[in-house]
Amino acid sequence: MDRDASEPDLNLNDPPAPYRVLARKYRPASFEDLIGQEPMVKTLSNAFDLGRIHQAYLLTGVRGVGKTTTARILARAFNYELPAQGVNQPTIHMPELGVHCQAIIDSRHVDVIEMDAASHTGIDDVREIIDNARYRPVLARTKVYIIDEVHMLSKQAFNGLLKTLEEPPDHVKFIFATTEIEKVPVTVRSRCQRFDLRRVEADVLVAHLAKICVKEGIAVEAEALALIARVSEGSVRDSLSLLDQAIAHAKGGGLRSEVKAEDLRAMLGLADHARIIDLFEESMKGDVAAALGSLKALYDAGADPARVLGELAEFVHFVTRLKLAPETAKDPAVTEEERRRGGEFAKVLSLPVLSRAWQLLLKGLQEVRDAPRPLAAADMVIVRLAYAADLPTPDEALRRLTQGGPSAPAPARAPAPVAGASRASATVQARVPAPAAPQEPRLTSFQDVVALTAARRDIQLKIALERDVRLVRFEEGSIDFALSPGASPALAQQLARRLQEWTGRRWMVALSSEPGAPSLSEQSEAAAASALHGVQSEPIVRRALALFPGAEIVAIRNCEPQGEAAEASDEVAYADQTFTEDDL
């Protein structure tokens, strides 16, 4: 039987078509397929419908949210032609592929030029764009320049592009994409319509991944999809890459092998979240031994110590949000166990305790990353967290002091989710001495205020008080003074704030229009000058200066007599030598 000439030649020896990763296979081809960017889609849709199409667009956002994809969809919209239906004008309504659509999607259209600014950074590359922009497109209606990572262009390249960008030919459109918008000069930003592409919400991302799994015939646990959405941090490309990897990890990727959350955690080196919650509970109870055992079990199961502390910090953040905003529990990326146990912790743990745990974990996370032995460093962080769980928070310590000092009973704290105090907790409480009640400093003169600033090691304020304050009136709780020329007008406010902080009471500190007494520095200089004048009038000093022409008095010392039998004598410090009347 003769084969029909229309049938394609089949060669069983032809190699199979190369595999296309999910991120490319399911890349949106129209705005209807683009997820999570509804504000941008609405703005562009209205602009095209009204015929208010801009000459240049600037797309910014984190990795994998659709910047390059949006640029290609816009290029399709600029050049959409469907002769069968009489469509030959720019539109974002593209129900089917037009004349130029497939070539634009495949990035092979002659009139849609995509340039990577990371490898074409110089003025010569921009000069080529400027020269070619003058010529009309070859096939399509509009010539489109898509410049990815535009922030990588040099300063000269940006400057060379400005004139063409502001007044391009009617047949030219520019679309820029960048992840670092602050590096793009404002002169470029002002010539473009800017769109900030947002991170895709977890529930939208989970639904998108579920649809793709159905199309691919992949069985996947809902918890695994939630885990992928959480790890990808709102990036669609990252989530599809992780899904690709998870399918390969699940032994074949067919319906017979399901993508499970447990396998996904093992693949990514993540810890079992139930164990993370157990570790948090043991730490908040102060059970050091159990917490260290849980950390070692997670490490033996393949979890990285830094990731464990990171997930522990994430759970602290989740519990804090549950306490302040209970609707957080509706997040689809949160498991049922997290909702239940997180809600229990949110009821019994106070905000100061959660805030302190967050700070300890945040600081400890960097220590673990820098440590030569990450597990040992993580152990020490858990020890700190567990021991700090039973220490009073700053407000509790202050309350104890104000309610009667160390003899006052400690206020009741919220119990841990599991009743019973551990031995380690009791040891910590026994070893922490009760703080002594602070004594309020008594200030009876302005000199006492200066001495207090020196005791508090506020050297800058001490120097300003000595040099710039001309005291008018001083009473305990109230200070009036004038300022020396050139002094800061904010000195009064700064002094009032410091005195209230140090003494625990409000001080009235005000600037006066009266001249005031000389400043302490001026008084000190006057006293030194008076002492110098008195010394210069002494006969012994005059005789010494006469013996050494050109000599100067550099210091004056008061020498006390040694013993009862010692004779009183005046001494003069002269060029680091001491002279008595007998020497002269």
Q: What is the DSSP string of 85-148?
A: GTB-S--S--SS--TTHHHHHTT--TTEEEEETTT--SHHHHHHHHHHHTSPPSSSSSEEEEEE
pLDDT of residue 59: 94
Confidence of residue 171 (pLDDT cuts 50, 70, 90): very high
pLDDT of residue 457: 83
Which CATH number applies to 202-268: 1.10.8.60, 3.40.50.1370, 3.30.70.3270, 1.10.10.10?
1.10.8.60
Q: Is 375 exposed, middle or buried (0-12, 13-18, 19+ CB in 10 A)?
A: middle
Confidence of residue 478 (pLDDT cuts 50, 70, 90): confident
pLDDT of residue 574: 41
Residue 5 has pLDDT above 50, yes or no: no
- Mean per-residue pLDDT for 198-213? 89
pLDDT of residue 576: 42
22-196: CATH class: alpha beta
Q: What percent of the chain lies above the pLDDT cut of 70?
A: 82
Residue pLDDT, tens place only, 65-112:
989 999 999 999 999 988 888 788 888 888 888 889 999 988 899 999
pLDDT of residue 174: 95
Confidence of residue 504 (pLDDT cuts 50, 70, 90): confident
pLDDT of residue 316: 92
**Domain parsing of the chain, residue ranges:** 22-196, 202-268, 273-388, 446-520, 538-579
Q: What is the DSSP string of 236-277?
A: HHHHHHHHHHHHHHTTTSSTTS-B-HHHHHHHHTPPPHHHHH
Which has the higher per-residue pLDDT, 563 or 466?
A: 466
Joined together, the tokens standing for residue 345 give 């912790």
Confidence of residue 556 (pLDDT cuts 50, 70, 90): confident
- Mean per-residue pLDDT for 24-48? 90
Residue pLDDT, tens place only, 250-285:
765 444 568 888 788 777 766 667 888 889 999 988
Q: Is 341 exposed, middle or buried (0-12, 13-18, 19+ CB in 10 A)?
A: buried
- Mean per-residue pLDDT for 181-192? 92
Question: DSSP assignment, residue 518?
Answer: P
- CATH number of the structural domain 273-388: 1.20.272.10
pLDDT of residue 253: 45
- Mean per-residue pLDDT for 436-452? 75
Confidence of residue 16 (pLDDT cuts 50, 70, 90): low
Instruction: Decide: pTM greater than 0.85.
Output: no
Indicate the range of 9-13, 54-58, 427-431 predicted with least confidence: 427-431
Residue pLDDT, tens place only, 368-420:
988 899 999 999 999 999 888 777 766 666 676 666 544 444 443 444 444 33
Residue 519 has pLDDT above 70, yes or no: yes
Most confident of 322-331, 339-348, 529-538: 339-348
